[in-house]
């Protein structure tokens, strides 16, 4: 998809014109750039359709007198309640309407009022993001595709100064959004396709961009004493692996490490899952975010060293499965009693992070994981949970998330949560004795494996396979959560 910023009057021919309006400007919308007949067609449409301008309202009209055969009227809601999130939802609705009406080229206009209120840079970043995300759908296994690809989107900005500011940010915003869509693909494919072999092969594709890819196979994991990831993966026919993607520019002064939970499927193990097991094909969404982010890193070439690390395995069942009450020694020497085999993500991350700390000594480490149902109970489908051992790092993550248009929320790491992860038999237990504070306890468990490294843990269980559908999230698909936040961090935000 080609996205460009334009200014002045509508240029060239276009299949569709979309106009975005706040609800208080419906009476006399100022639409410079469109000819008289087109403006009047929009005005008639507003009157005839009883369009109210709500931010979720989209009306499509077919006309023959206007400058394009398809006219789309999109509400932005009230100006007082404006958020970038609403703008993105609205732009997502526009691109969906265009796609389902077989529109190849789309021109998006907003009123002058809009321009005077909002920065061109953020508007362009938000629209680019929403248009790329809203256009995405998952149809790999369908013979009949729905709708039609929109190949060109022109964003009209009132003044040439605004157009210039927009033009400067669109290419990068598009790279971020495409990385986000890539993560959605990985998370939505089923586990018989996205295997640990598949994750390894996808990582290896980055080698041609100068990213060094190393894979720790079972034999090396055994030699290194990474017994927690080995335990989780031992009943699966898929080999467990730690996959390391190393982007190391020569002049780099700092290293940031991203560590993703890559459970290609999580049936719970012997503590087998009783609900929504099928959604656990998306239990590698942390790994998907890391892979997506590393693609963007290859493209954007930040100054710092960026490590993308994936703990990949399957939590399966069989005579060889690890059991509740088993005790294993982690890479860092801590002994862990298995309280629950379904609390497997923290085991995989524990070994992987302890290894990354020991081997690479990053200045910052961020793990991304579909770690707990408890995080989803706390925040619903609408924000991911951030834990950190440093106030400064926590703020850095939240700021990056905001810039990336991703919702994240800070959570506590009080020492009592750590106390609740102690075992009577070993040093640690991977599960608490009851359900309370499950997301915080999981984070406290991870903290035992990062030493003094500045670290944040992002639990993306809330949004990674959302139980809600909207213009930016098709039903029953993975969301690519945290991908863009990681890229912003890599770029040094
Ligand atoms: N992958 C799940 C967490 C999850 C649940 C992600 C729902 C997305 C949606 C994780 O491995 C898990 O099973 N966690 C358990 C931990 C418990 C046994 C301590 C949970 O949250 O129930
Ligand atoms: Mn589990
Ligand atoms: Zn899991």
420-468: per-residue pLDDT in tens?
999 999 999 999 999 999 999 999 999 999 999 999 999 999 999 999 9
The residue whose CA is least distant from atom 22 of ligand 1 is 373
C-alpha 398 – ligand 3 centre gap (Å): 24
Q: Residue 266 C-alpha to ligand 3 middle, in angstroms?
A: 5
**Does the annotation mark 346 as catalytic?**
yes
Adjacency order of strands within the sheet including 212-216: 212-216, 241-247, 305-315, 255-266, 364-369, 455-459, 384-388, 408-410
How many angstroms from the chain centroid is the CA of residue 197? 22
Kindly give the parts of the chain with pLDDT less than 50: none
Pocket test for ligand 1, best of 373, 379, 463 (most atoms within 8 A of CB): 373
Q: Tokens standing for 431?
A: 């599960």
Neighbours of ion ligand 2 (CB under 5 A): 266, 342, 344
Determine how many CB atoms are found less than 10 A away from the CB of residue 251: 7
Strand order in the sheet with 428-429: 327-329, 335-337, 428-429
Active site residue 146: no
Query: Strand order in 105-110's β-sheet?
Result: 2-7, 152-157, 105-110, 16-21, 70-75, 58-62
Rounded-to-integer distance, Cα 209 and Cα 189, Å: 25
Residue at token pair 């961020």 = 366
Question: What pLDDT was estimated at residue 304?
Answer: 98
CA dist., res. 71 & res. 43, Å (int): 11
Ligand 2 centre distance from Cα of residue 344 (Å): 5
**Which residues line ligand 1 at a C-beta cut-off of 6 Å?**
266, 283, 340, 342-345, 370-374, 376, 431, 438, 461
Using a cut of 0.75, tell me whether the model's pTM lies above it.
Answer: yes
Alpha-carbon torsion 221, 223, 226, 229, what sign? positive
Distance 370 CA to ligand 3 centre (A): 6
Q: What is the distance between the alpha carbons of residues 92 and 137, in angstroms, rounded to a whole number?
A: 12
How many beta carbons lie within 10 A of that of residue 67, not counting itself? 19
Please tell me the number of the ligand nearest to residue 276's CA: 1
Label residues 125-136 b or e (16+ Cβ within 10 Å = b): bbbbbbbbbbbb
CA dist., res. 279 & res. 282, Å (int): 6
**Domains within the chain, CATH numbers bracketed:** 2-166 (3.40.220.10), 185-490 (3.40.630.10)
* Spacing, Cα 136 to ligand 1 middle (Å): 27
DSSP string, 314-375: EE--STT---TT-EEE-TTS-EEE-S-TT--HHHHHHHHHHHHHHHH--SEEEEEE---HHH
Catalytic residue among 88, 125, 305, 346: 346
Active-site hit among 86, 273, 359, 407: 273
Backbone torsions φ then ψ of 241, nearest 5 degrees: -150, 155
Ligand 1: nearest atom to the Cα of 283:
1
Check residue 493 and give its pLDDT. Answer: 60
Per-residue model confidence (pLDDT) at position 312: 99
Quote the pLDDT of residue 214.
98
Please tell me the predicted confidence (pLDDT) of residue 444: 99
Q: What is the pLDDT of residue 265?
A: 99
């Amino acid at each position: 998809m080609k996205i460009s910023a334009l200014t002045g009057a509508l240029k060239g021919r276009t299949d569709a014109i979309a106009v975005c309006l706040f609800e208080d400007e419906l009476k006399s919308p100022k639409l410079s750039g469109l000819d008289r007949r087109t403006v009047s067609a929009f005005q008639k449409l507003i009157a005839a359709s009883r369009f109210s301008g709500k931010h979720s309202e989209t009306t499509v009209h077919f006309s023959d007198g206007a400058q394009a055969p398809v006219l789309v009227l999109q509400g932005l809601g009230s100006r007082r309640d404006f958020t970038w999130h609403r703008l993105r939802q609205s732009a997502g609705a526009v691109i969906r309407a265009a796609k389902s009406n077989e529109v190849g080229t789309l021109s998006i206009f907003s009123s002058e009022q809009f321009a005077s209120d909002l920065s061109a840079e953020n508007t362009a970043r938000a629209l680019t993001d929403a248009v790329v995300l809203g256009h995405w759908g998952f149809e790999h296994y369908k013979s009949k595709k729905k709708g039609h690809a929109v190949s060109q989107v022109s964003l009209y900005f009132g003044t040439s100064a605004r157009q210039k500011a927009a033009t400067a940010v669109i290419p990068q915003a598009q790279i971020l959004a495409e990385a986000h869509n890539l993560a959605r693909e990985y998370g939505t494919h089923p586990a018989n396709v996205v295997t640990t072999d598949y994750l390894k092969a996808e990582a290896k594709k980055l080698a041609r961009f100068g990213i060094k890819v190393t894979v720790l196979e079972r034999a090396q994991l055994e030699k290194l004493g990474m017994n927690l990831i080995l335990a989780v993966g031992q009943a699966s026919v898929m080999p467990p692996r730690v996959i390391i993607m190393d982007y190391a520019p020569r002049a780099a002064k700092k290293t940031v490490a991203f560590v993703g939970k890559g459970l290609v499927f999580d049936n719970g193990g012997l503590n087998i899952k009783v609900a929504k097991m099928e959604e656990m094909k998306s239990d590698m969404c942390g790994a998907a975010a890391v892979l997506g982010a590393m693609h963007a890193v290859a493209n954007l070439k930040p100054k710092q060293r960026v490590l993308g690390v994936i703990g990949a395995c399957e939590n399966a069942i069989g005579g060889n499965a690890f059991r509740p009450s088993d005790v294993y020694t982690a890479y860092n020497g801590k002994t862990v009693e298995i309280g629950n085999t379904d609390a497997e993500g923290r085991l995989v991350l524990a070994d992987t992070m302890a290894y990354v700390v020991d081997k690479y000594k990053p200045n910052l480490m961020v793990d991304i994981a579909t770690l707990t149902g408890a995080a989803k109970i706390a925040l619903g489908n609408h924000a991911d949970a951030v834990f950190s051992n440093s106030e400064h790092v926590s703020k850095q993550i939240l700021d990056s998330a905001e810039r990336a248009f991703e919702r994240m929320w800070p959570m506590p790491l009080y020492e009592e949560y750590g106390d609740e992860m102690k075992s009577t038999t070993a040093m640690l237990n991977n599960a608490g004795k009851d359900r309370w504070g499950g997301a915080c306890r999981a984070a406290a468990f991870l903290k035992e494996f990062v030493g003094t490294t500045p670290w944040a843990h992002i639990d993306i269980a809330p949004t990674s396979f959302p139980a809600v559908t909207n213009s930016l999230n098709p039903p029953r698909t993975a969301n690519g959560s945290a991908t863009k936040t990681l890229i912003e961090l890599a770029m040094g935000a």
